[in-house]
A and B are shown apart, each in its own frame.
Chain A
Amino acid sequence: MEKGLLEIRIHGRGGQGAKTASQFIAESALGEGKHIQSFPEYGPERAGAPMKAYARISDKAISNYAPVISPDVVMVIDPTLMVSIDVTEGMSDKGILIVNTPKSADDIRKELKNYKGKLYTVDATKISIDTVGKNLPNTPMLGAFVKLTNAIPLDAVKKSCKDKFLKKLGEEKTNATINGIDMAYEAVK
């Protein structure tokens, strides 16, 4: 990892909000004076198909426009992808892997081959159903991301969320979304 640069990869399926999550991370970091990038893996955009989104956060201007191949942090929004995709590809022993699942980190580690980095789990799906009443795990995952990386303040993410959703979803649903971020922040382990 280059000093002052954090590279993030998010695995999800089309429609699960991996791209939105990467954008939230980037926009929150920008608000903190960082240089950022956020982009999906470009391909046919199909609901339900496996996809990746990327983000970079840096202290200085970012000139690398290639996809992230050695991520410092990987988030898996849909754990069913792990059957067919090596989500740890390109990660070092210092990597941070965050999986949305009701299972424990130890159980997930058994399913992975040769991954020696850090591993955490959070049931973001349950949190989103409990808070907003829908399966939208991407925003709670942001709470887990903040807790484990300290890359951006929790308030910055919550503010980005509020800015984005208040007009679109109204106060009640926006607060429920933010509540989900807080819950995942506490629950991840």
Chain B
Amino acid sequence: MYKDGRGGKVHKMSKTTAMTGAESAAEAMRQINPDVVAAYPITPQTAIAQNFANYVANGIVDTELVRVESEHSAMSCCVGASAAGARVMTATSSAGLALMWEIVGVAAGLRLPIVMEVVNRALSAPINIHCDHSDSMGTRDLGWIQIFSENAQEVYEHTLIAVRLAEKLLIPAMVCQDGFITSHGVENVEIFDDEGVKKFVGEHKYPYGLLDIKKPVTHGPLQLQDYYFETRSQQIPVMEEAKKEFVKIGEELGKITKKKYPLFDEYEMKDAEAVIVVMNSTAGTTKTAIDAMRKEGKKVGLLKLRLFRPFPYKEVSDALKHVKKIAVLDRSVSFGANPPLYSEVKNGLYDVKYTGKLHSCVFGLGGRNIFVEDIIGVFNRLLDGKLKDHDYIGLREE
């Protein structure tokens, strides 16, 4: 019997309560009841690990919680447990993910289906722990599935999908949410009944578990010039499959939640002349801006990515190719190169011979606020042809 960590009640029915994104992630973890969670318990860790530790301490889950001495150790522990055949989860943020980096790549290379909650926060220096996407963008080429979430509700649902997706394809997956804005902001979250969710998540049947003595396997052997290339290249096609599987598993979850989980959401895109492409909570703020502008007859829309790795090039390009003006909003930069999201959108549009106007806007680094008025400003400048090719939102330039 599984109990609610706060009130000791059994979750027999779906229930809407006030929750933060950190709490909704921990709720998903409670329902998933992983075999092992390894996490570093100090800053930059978030309330996800704290909330989940409460569930463990109160006997609500039977997870083995390993409190390690660093984030590097946290992921190392996850790798070991996952290779043994356990269902494994962890949570991190900002500098924590950066410290973990080496083993994040190992997890993907070993094809271990670890699911990690990432609360997107800035990287130092200057010292800052507020929201931007630098941390997960720093791991975008390591071979993990990356799912971005607009709000606490999506964090919860994406986490459930991520477990199935990771275990189906044997690729680790991270579920990203905006630091503070989502992780610490309280909003309505509907948690679906335990039984239905548990049935959806199912059991983890890892085919290469080290503890299966009848089927001995080797994990992580030395492969030099002879085989490394072949092994690595196998990660490429399987990653492609994640697009199809994400949608498929999403449809299954949709039977419980009555929602849809496309690779990306299109909001007021049908007749839109100007479209913003953005991820996480700013997609929500953009919807509010669009609602206000549509009332004035302005044809504006939004494309909100859920899946960033693998990147749905063809699908995104097909959705955008007829839009005359596009602004891609990035909450991180790639110094000396195009910002990550803009770069991907631009790559995809090359294949469809896009002839419209594509702009890059960097915003919100280190938690700089972005308001509805800022988004309206971007749309207006985009419509009037006044937006620079590479622009900033909310940057003081004097």
Contact = CB atoms under 8 A, between A and B. Distances in A.
Nearest to A22: B186
Nearest to B180: A42
B185 A37 contact: yes
Interface of A: 23, 26-27, 30, 35-40, 42, 61-67, 69
B256 interface: no
Contact of A26 (B186, B281, B287): B186
Given A30-B188, A42-B184, A69-B371, A64 B18 contact: no
Secondary structure of the B contact surface, majority rule: mixed
B355 to A, nearest CB: 32
A66 B184 contact: no
B186 A65 contact: no
A23 B371 contact: no
Given A23-B18, A30-B18, A65-B284, A39 B371 contact: no
B185 A39 contact: yes
25 contacts: A26-B186, A30-B17, A30-B18, A35-B188, A36-B186, A37-B186, A38-B187, A39-B181, A39-B185, A42-B180, A61-B188, A62-B187, A63-B284, A64-B288, A64-B372, A65-B151, A65-B181, A65-B185, A66-B285, A66-B369, A66-B370, A66-B371, A66-B372, A67-B369, A69-B373
Contacts of A63: 150, 284-285, 287-288
Contacts, number: 63
B347 interface: no
Say which size band chain B's interface belongs to.
20 to 34
B119 to A, nearest CB: 12
Nearest to A28: B18
A36 B188 CA distance: 6
A62 B284 CA distance: 8
B367 interface: yes
A65 B285 contact: yes
B184 A26 contact: no
A42 B281 contact: no
B187 A37 contact: yes
Contacts of B281: 65
Contacts of A26: 18, 186
